[in-house]
Structure 1
Amino acid sequence: MKYISISILYIVISSCSRNDGSYNYVKQNLSGKIEQVGTLVFKLDSETTFEANGPVESTDYYVFYNSPTKSYKFYDKESFELAKTVALDSEGPNSVASPMGFTFDDQSNLSVYDFGRKEIFVIDSTGLVINSYKVEIEHLSRSSVFPVNISPLNYIDGAFFMSAQGNHLQSGMINHSDETIVRLMAKDKSINTFLNYPENYNNFIRGGRQSVISTTINSNTGSLIVGFPLEDDLFELTKGGEVIRHDIEPSIFDGFDGHYFSSLNRLSKSSYKDVNEKYLGNYSYWTVYYDVFSDCYYRFVNVPLTEYEMSLDTPKESELRDYVLQVFDSNFKLIALSEVLEDINIVMSPGARVFSTDNGIHVFAKNQLNEDEMRFITLKLSDEH
């Protein structure tokens, strides 16, 4: 694939406007260009909220989980209007106590992870539970397996993939020497774990959002791609179970070693406020997404909140956080870098995800202008064609 040449892309982040760290000019000679080309709008029914988790693509629909009604909303792919609803039972043999992530298996059955029971339930089109898989991992018994919007429950080629955050220590911290990926094979229900946290996590990192990984499936190769908030490199778990580390060069900002980890070590181990401010006031990586239409990987970078935003009593990340978008080709070469994106919201709550069509990738809009519509900002990678 060839891309329109742009001479030099500058991202300028003034050191006087940001809270911490080294934010000098970053120059990149790159061949691609990311443009905002419009919006995509779902026409909501009277029940679906902006906090709905989705969309997840099935064969015929885009699907959201609507927590207040404990139901799955199936939206038509052409009209983006509600086509049907599948409700979960609250009690009885078909009940799902605490649904979290969901996906679809190779029979297009809805597959739901129950966080409370640590179990995946397979549900047919009527809401009937037709199969289940226990997710019990002895050496990760104190870990949190929780599929969220940036690290969803994935299914491909007979395997479910989930992320784990590491065992919780008595101190309340996360054990970052644990594996982060859980693979469950549907055929024999066997479970394997993969990919320890990288070396950066040997530093003092309490946990929380700094330890939440992002995953995406490359539907062409069957590999799971993994990104960590405090690590430049990306990791690939192949279908055969091999872990490959992809060196990402160059970094778009000064590395973590100097300003992030050194000052993090000085923070009180019991101070959530200090650790949270460190996260909000610094660069880190967030959502990683594979787009089958361009055969490229998209990674969103958290841009630090400004000093003024950090001075607020309770900085609200969903309203204040801006992003930069990196695009990598299929060989993990950086080919495009966006300007600062101010109009999108990809924090862990609400549950809206990044998804793609042949028109580009679509990202939940920060400003939802109409309660009857859910807006996504459309971003497209320019090429010669």
Structure 2
Amino acid sequence: MSDLFSAARLGDLTLPNRVVMAPMTRVRAAAGGLATPSMAAYYAQRATAGLIVSEGVQPNRVGQSNPGTPGLHTDEQTESWRQVTAAVHSNGGRIFAQLMHGGRVSHPDTTGEQPVAPSAVPATGLVFTPAGPQPAPTPRALTTDEVPEQATSYAEAARHAVAAGFDGVELHGANGYLISQFLASNANLRTDRYGGSIAGRIRFAVEATEATVDAVGAARTGIRLSPAATIWGVADADVPELYAALLAELARLDLAYVHLEATADEEVLRGLRRAWPGTLIMNPAMPGGPKPAGRAEADHWLDLGADLISFGRAYLANPDLVERLRQGLPLAPADEATYYQGGDAGYLTYPAYQHTA
């Protein structure tokens, strides 16, 4: 079993430990999807992680899911991220940008455009808009000729990310967003080459990843997946076969990593670990579960063959998470009311552990 605090290789990077800060939406971007000085401070506070994966960043305008999220599709956005990557690197860290296309999980009030998706099937639930939560609208189904443009949007954003100083990018293929929508049989009702069979439904994910590898290199490209997750109403009945086929296609690209969420039964996840020949990041906490993952869950998955362990909610209130885990110190709870409220409260105001005499 690898030790959580031992060094690891990831693409061309050497990580000082196997702790990864998972991507988490915080909606603190400025108008125009620009990164801010507060965002630079936030990520710099957490730079002792072996790797930071940023919040989801939209690769184009129609791909924006929530108000207040940052982008990587204009020169101005790219320039704004340089302060973030510089701050992380100055503190000794490494950071990948997560590229997140919302697909049908969006709203015209947010982007000024009708959301696009594999099929004209709305997401389940309410989506965030500038006026507050509203029912998810029916998206416009992409034509066959339009699909490649959305796939290559990840590659174009990856180029912007590298220009901004990011060490690499992670495609968000999880949690009911666009790549996940193409994978899901209840969201993807297409009958062309991007739908129907497993080979058709994985095609978009593979093409988006291939384009990104061509743009910035395999060593700078990862992908996050959430097998069997039902977030935003996606569902699939053939999870082991679907994800095994996807991993087989991705394996030939020699990616930096695959990042799995613990959204399927452990037996399924262990099978996917065996199927993936490269570096595996495991996120052991169920999304929306009762508590964030800690050292015990990390050691469990390292014992099962994961290479790196990502922590999400535990990082919100614990910028010094690596040292807290190393020393067995208690984790501070995060204030849920401040997750998405904007401002620095509940964002930059969590201190490192205070030792008492």
Same fold per superposition (TM over 0.5): no
Larger radius of gyration between Structure 1 and Structure 2: 1
Give TM-score, length-normalised by structure 1. Answer: 0.30
Give TM-score, length-normalised by structure 2. Answer: 0.32
Compare the two structures and name the one with the higher helix fraction: 2
